[in-house]
Amino acid sequence: MIYAASGAVLQAKDVRFSASFYEKLSGKKAVFLPPDSKEPKEAYVPFGLGFVRLVEKQGKCALGSCGVVLLVDDMYATLEALRQAGISCGQPQMGLGGSIRAGIRDNEGRPVELLQIIPGSVEASLWLSTSVKRT
């Protein structure tokens, strides 16, 4: 299953609507700002040691703010669970760094990359040597 995300910032047409997609993925509730607002300006959705931050769309996406990478422990089980939840998934592929990758899109069409880090891969040396470890 999904266990971590980078601290990505994504622009959203409707923060609450977008947050509902990421809540399904993480299994955790979003924190909305301002609290109790019917039309929140921001939302934080926790994933393991990371989060996805959604902000109200105010123009073109800046470089790196229109996609997110979510770490998974078992790509095939994760894809099956997402399909069961009604989420369309791409086919898993071995990435250049030696880890398994697959793509999905959120409910506003933004790309979401799923990444299963394989021991000995480039990603293992970069990502797992940091604080993004499965607990």
- Assign residue 43 the CATH number of its domain: 3.10.180.10
| Across 18-22, 25-29, 108-112, least confident range | 108-112
Specify the pLDDT at position 126: 58
Instruction: Give me the sheet containing 111-116, strands edge to edge.
Output: 2-5, 68-72, 111-116, 100-105, 93-94
Specify the pLDDT at position 64: 36
Contact assessment for residue 1 and residue 82, using Cβ atoms and an 8 Å cutoff: no
Which domain range does residue 98 map to? 2-127
% of the chain with per-residue pLDDT over 70: 80
Q: Mean pLDDT for the chain?
A: 80
Contact assessment for residue 72 and residue 1, using Cβ atoms and an 8 Å cutoff: yes
Domain count, the chain: 1
Any domain includes 93: yes
| Assigned token pair, 114 | 């799923």
pTM equals: 0.64
The residue whose two tokens read 């609290």 is 35
Contact assessment for residue 69 and residue 6, using Cβ atoms and an 8 Å cutoff: yes
Q: Give the CA-trace dihedral at 107, 29, 11, 37, to 10 degrees.
A: 110
Contact assessment for residue 67 and residue 106, using Cβ atoms and an 8 Å cutoff: no
Any domain includes 134: no
Specify the pLDDT at position 80: 97
Any domain includes 133: no
Q: Which of 93, 115, 113, 95 is nearest to 103 (CA)?
A: 113
Specify the pLDDT at position 65: 43
- 3-state secondary structure at position 24: helix
Peptide bond into 111 cis (omega under 30): no
Mean pLDDT of 103-125: 84
Any domain includes 95: yes
Q: Is the pLDDT of residue 84 over 70?
A: yes
Summarised one tens digit per residue, pLDDT across range 29-53 is 988 888 788 888 888 888 776 678 7
